[in-house]
Amino acid sequence: MQEYWEIYMKSLEGKPASILFNAGISMEIEKIQYIYPTIAFIKVKLKEPKENGLLSSQEEPEIMFLEDKLEASLIKFRIGKYVGRIINDGYVTFLYYLQFTYNWQDFLDYALDEHTEYEISTGFQEDSEWNYYKNLLFPNAKEWQIIQNHKVCDALKAKGDTLEIPRIIEHKIFFTNSSQEQKVKLLETLKDDRFEKLEDIKSEDGVEGVVVFRDDKPFYIDIDELTLKLIDICEEYGASYDGWETKI
């Protein structure tokens, strides 16, 4: 089973939430969802959260130690798979998919024996379709795009780029479900927004697409705003946005 973790921010019930999730496991859900049919949670009330309800730097070492103890207990009792963590509204919630539940209490006793000063609630329920993972932890298209944006921005910054200088940024778009009329209207809309066509392309599955470009800043906030706008435009015309690239 692949271990590939991502972290991102989203809003839950109008409040900011930090989501850590195992993205690698998403490629194996169909194989394992009936082996691990039960979602389980451990919800810990933070002692001193930030004003926005997220984890403070003062309390972070203790919560990370608690997470390590949970991981050690998971290995000891082989109870299931750790799939994600949510920090929101003054709580941190650890989520697992379980194969069995008969040793759930043993798992908790071993993991939490050094953390009796915390207010902790736990529980589990059937979720053989993995809806909690798919609908709560896994990012939607826009959230996933922001994750990818920031990876590219971080890579550029690591090479000395200030990200503040406008330059040509290329964007891939595929006409996934576009009619011919929608393709024409999409390209017209992009042209009206100062995008120029670079070339026609095809995906590995033979889906037709196009590369367009425009001068923009690849700074975090700017590129997020731009790519989310392009996602909306593409969806309006039955197309799908497939990311961007640029040079230092």
| Cβ partners under 8 Å of residue 32, min gap 6 | 1, 25, 81
Read off φ and ψ for residue 162, nearest 5 degrees. Answer: -80, -20
What pLDDT shows up at residue 181? 97
Band of residue 1 on the pLDDT scale cut at 50, 70, 90: low
- CATH architecture assigned to 5-137: 2-Layer Sandwich (3.30)
What pLDDT shows up at residue 3? 81
5-137 and 141-246 share one fold: yes
Helix axes 141-158, 220-236, angle to 10 degrees: 140
* 37 close to 106: Cβ distance less than 8 angstroms: no
| Cβ partners under 8 Å of residue 140, min gap 6 | none
* Gap between the Cα atoms of 155 and 227, Å rounded: 18
Read off φ and ψ for residue 48, nearest 5 degrees. Answer: -140, 70
Band of residue 248 on the pLDDT scale cut at 50, 70, 90: confident
Read off φ and ψ for residue 107, nearest 5 degrees. Answer: -60, -45
Is the per-residue pLDDT at 232 higher than 90? yes
Query: What is the layout of strands, in order, in the sheet containing 167-174?
Result: 196-202, 208-216, 167-174, 240-246
* Gap between the Cα atoms of 105 and 85, Å rounded: 20
pTM of the predicted structure, to 2 decimals: 0.87
Digit-coded pLDDT (tens) for 67-121 = 999 999 999 999 999 999 999 999 999 999 999 999 999 999 999 998 999 999 9
In this structure, the number of other CB atoms found within 10 A of the CB of residue 39 comes to 22
In this structure, the number of other CB atoms found within 10 A of the CB of residue 137 comes to 22
* 212 close to 195: Cβ distance less than 8 angstroms: yes
In this structure, the number of other CB atoms found within 10 A of the CB of residue 105 comes to 10
* 160 close to 248: Cβ distance less than 8 angstroms: yes
Q: Report H helices in the chain.
A: 29-32, 60-77, 104-112, 131-132, 141-158, 180-192, 220-236
* Gap between the Cα atoms of 124 and 129, Å rounded: 14
SS3 126: strand
Note the CATH number of domain 141-246. Answer: 3.30.70.970
Unique residue bearing structure tokens 């993995």: 130
What average pLDDT does this structure show over 49-67? 96
Provide the percentage of residues in the chain whose pLDDT is more than 70.
99
Ordered by start, the domain boundaries in the chain are 5-137, 141-246
Tokens of 20: 């850590």
Tokens of 139: 């990012």
Is the per-residue pLDDT at 229 higher than 80? yes
